[in-house]
């Protein structure tokens, strides 16, 4: 019986040190998981902003392509400068400017600005133009961060008459 008692005491359960070590490993894992969640949230915020801005820039490219005969009227548009809107004789380009400006201003982005540049390319007989649409804004560096950084999206396309 005495040998049986010795065997049972030698094989008793976990010690306090082992339990504390398991708790530390668990705590480190949970802290790491929390950090990964914050990084993921920041990435989601950035990708949402980038998707929204890309769609707004693509919208303006499509507007210009639809009105391709008057592409020069879109040159040097700047949504933060009302003096750059197309002339009143170009009513479609002027309407596109107003709608794009309202879309950008209503986007909820900080200090958002849309700009368009038009440049003639190739032989002038082909009447091809390269258009560049740029949207800039202040975006957060990471999810809940208060640090803002300049961000921009630029789309370039070639517009030719029909």
Cα dist. 111→68, 107, 141, 150 in Å? 29, 10, 15, 9
pLDDT value at 13 more than 70: no
**What does pLDDT average to over the chain?**
85
Instruction: Check residues 39 and 89 and name the one with the higher pLDDT.
Output: 89
**Distance from chain centroid for Cα 62:** 20
Question: pLDDT band at 2, cuts 50/70/90?
Answer: low
Q: Which residues contact 100 (CB under 8 A, 6 or more apart)?
A: 56, 59, 60, 63, 79, 114
41-53, pLDDT tens digit by residue?
Answer: 777 778 888 999 9
Question: pLDDT band at 142, cuts 50/70/90?
Answer: low
Boundaries of every domain in the chain:
2-159
Please tell me the distance from the alpha carbon of residue 49 to that of residue 148, in angstroms, as a whole number: 13
Beta-carbon neighbour count of residue 153 at 10 Å?
19
Q: Which residues contact 41 (CB under 8 A, 6 or more apart)?
A: 143, 144
**Distance from chain centroid for Cα 135:** 11
**Mean pLDDT across 75-88:** 92
Question: pLDDT band at 19, cuts 50/70/90?
Answer: confident
Q: What is the pLDDT of residue 99?
A: 94
Q: What percent of the chain has pLDDT over 70?
A: 86
Please tell me the distance from the alpha carbon of residue 68 to that of residue 16, in angstroms, as a whole number: 78
Question: pLDDT band at 144, cuts 50/70/90?
Answer: low
pTM over 0.85: no
98-139, pLDDT tens digit by residue?
Answer: 999 999 999 988 899 999 999 988 777 778 999 999 999 988
Residue spans of alpha helices (H) in the chain: 2-10, 16-66, 91-105
Instruction: Check residues 141 and 17 and name the one with the higher pLDDT.
Output: 17
């Amino acid at each position: 019986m005495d040998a049986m008692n010795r065997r049972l005491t030698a094989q008793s359960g976990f010690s306090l040190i082992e339990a504390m070590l398991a708790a530390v490993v668990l705590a480190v894992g949970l802290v790491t998981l929390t950090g990964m969640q914050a990084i993921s949230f920041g990435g989601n915020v950035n990708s949402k902003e980038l998707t929204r801005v890309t769609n707004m820039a693509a919208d303006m490219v499509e507007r210009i392509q639809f009105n391709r005969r008057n592409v020069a009227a879109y040159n040097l548009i700047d949504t933060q400068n009302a003096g750059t809107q197309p002339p009143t004789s170009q009513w479609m380009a002027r309407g596109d400017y107003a709608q794009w400006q309202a879309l950008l201003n209503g986007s909820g982005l900080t200090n958002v600005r849309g700009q368009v540049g038009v440049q003639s390319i190739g032989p002038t007989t082909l009447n091809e133009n390269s258009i560049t649409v740029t949207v800039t804004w202040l975006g957060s560096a990471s999810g809940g961060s208060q640090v803002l950084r300049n961000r921009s999206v630029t789309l370039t396309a070639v517009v030719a008459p029909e």
